[in-house]
Structure 1
Amino acid sequence: MSIDSKALGFGDVARAAYACDPWTGRGRLVTEAGSLTRSDFQRDRDRIIHTTAFRRLKHKTQVFIGQDDDHYRTRLTHTIEVAQVARALARALRLDEDLAEGVALVHDFGHTPFGHTGEDALHEKMEPFGGFDHNAQSLRIVTKLEHRYAEFDGINLTWETLEGLVKHNGPLVGADGNGLKGPVPQPILDYSARHDLWLASHASLEAQVAAVSDDIAYNTHDIDDGLRAGFLTFEMLEDVPFLAGLMREVHDRYPGLEKSRFTNEVMRRQITRMVEDVIGFSQAQLRKINPKSADDVRHAGETIAFFSPDMMAVDRQIKAMLFSRIYRHPDIMEIRRAAAEIVADLFDAYIDDPALMGSHHWSAGLQDLPKPQLARHVSDYLAGMTDTYAIRTHQRLFDHTPELR
């Protein structure tokens, strides 16, 4: 029985003129036939969810490593929260919700085990060979390292999703072609040479809302997890006037509320205020710039979807509190030291003996590789590990493995 695509309602969504249109996009590196039942951005989102890299996020650290409590966020739960906020923002701004959600779902694919600690340790080891960057690693995963399809490596995402993955935090190069925040990672330059990602422009609004959704999500859930872990107290939150005001509001409305409910009422208000702020600021930016197309957004010369100046100040205050109270807490720093040791030990072991990587796919044919290529191969293998796999592997290869608690 044939399918009537028009009857499915495709193309009927009231997207704004400045939104990305999945029906007139820039396509994929490897041309594929369209789907009768899904737009190209829907297919991207679905492909992302079905990857091995997505499944591995459930055992990768967000902030807290080696905790016994199952309620702390992982990379997977963080990613789902970011995607939910991104979709809400996209709907409010009349963007393509599937593209915004897809960029949010893929944005952390390249993270190593043990969060930013693992990334820092791996970057130090890879510095002689071009360094390690989690955004560049995300691109390598979806364009090279996932082996699922008969006709291509990676998952052959659309140009718009790849652009959002690479540039969701803004342009990478200036008008002179030089990197705006240091050298552009080589994997990004290599891919863009084949499939130009316009590294000097901003990304689409869909990618911009995914980026600010990341800030909203981790600002909120790191406070929630910090309270649960005992690194934060409500008294500490009073140091941020915005949070103090939310707590007073909840206390006045629900006096005597138990701690878990009180925390949730504060957190949900925090997300709501931040989301509403982004919507209001973005609408004002759109009125000022008046983009007529997605490319007008890319060439606007400034970020459109972001916090207002007042909320940016709040964002900085929250981040400062999280850094001083959690991220740089002596107990967390000790755990980070131990995690970095695990990553560094594994890297050195695999460089010395690539056969230790085990499977034929990862260890075969490496004897004659030049050192830089071998190092990148080892980096790919290590970056793909979950926290639990990295710990188990270290325990198998070494006599002593540091405790991460």
Structure 2
Amino acid sequence: MLMQIQTEAVTQTAPILALDGITKTFPGVKALDGVSLRLFPGQVTALVGENGAGKSTVVKTLTGIYQPDGGEILVDGTATRFPSAQHAADAGITAIHQETVLFDELSVAENIFLGHAPRGKFGLIDWKTMQRRATEILTSIGAEIDPTHRLRDLGIANKHLVAIARALSIDARVVIMDEPTAALSHKEIQELYELVETLKAQGKAILFISHKFDEIFRIADRYTVFRDGQFVGDGMISDVTEAELVKMMVGRDVSQVFPQRESHLGDEVLQVVGYDHPTEFADIGFTLRRGEILGFYGLVGAGRSEFMQALFGITRPSKGVTKIDGSIRIIRSPADAIGNGVVYVPEDRGKQGAITALPSAGTPCAMCEQGKA
């Protein structure tokens, strides 16, 4: 009976932020087609959909990066507009983006308070206050990071924690989390869950975007499903199953989405023996067969990325042997790896996987040239 009363109270709460019939069109593409979304105080709403469903476009609309072509944005029931990101921030909307947008040459504290640093007399930055507040925010999310350190000295996971701290450095009413656990370890994910519970207790509305159903069912109170830029449905997470969500996402039964497949493994194609690095990893060895998917698992700092970079020729191991199709291959550079049919999709695709100074067609062409393809 108590649970029913609580559920009824939750469903009767008015939303802090709502989208009503939002449309957004780009040349040749209708990214959003009359979508709706409601975010409630003290609750987590999971936005669910396949890649291309319109989730990122909604996030950019809510944060003032994009302006909708049609429909209304409602804050506390009043229609409003966000002509810029600053207008959205002034309305209490903050976002933790999937791709961290930070500045390596600035300190951690400077990154957290970029654009809204605390100031003292004569309008000068109050460095002591900024570092103290940065420490408080980092501590609140379980991040043991010195706010005076340069961002460039941090790993991917810690940079992501700095991005979370920056999002929480403003007095937000709505917190958008776009794939927030992508670069975090298991321990850091648990700490993020605790942070979400704290934000809920403070009455903040949270939009949570994730492809991981265990996360969605772990922390979400509500769900909203988009498909191909259109609103499909919403409701309480307690009233839906994973299979039902998948069906709403893709428009067909889960058994058709993930049909049972037989795996036929072929000959050994890659063998790695005794890979060592003075500081990152030791005695790594494995074999990989044609048609096989081999997963590497470990906590942040375990050396997974460092080993893959060595295997691809970005860094040099102190010793080790690589065999491809039974023959020893010497890989001293990425060009050697590509020439031997080995490619690498890095963890930080924005900085390591693309040459941003080139046009979109430039990166694959550069890789082809590098590998003499």
Q: Could you state the TM-score of these two structures normalised by the residue count of structure 1? A: 0.25
In terms of Rg, which structure is larger? 2
Higher relative contact order (CA 8 A, sep 6+): 1
Q: Going by fraction, where is strand more abundant, 1 or 2?
A: 2
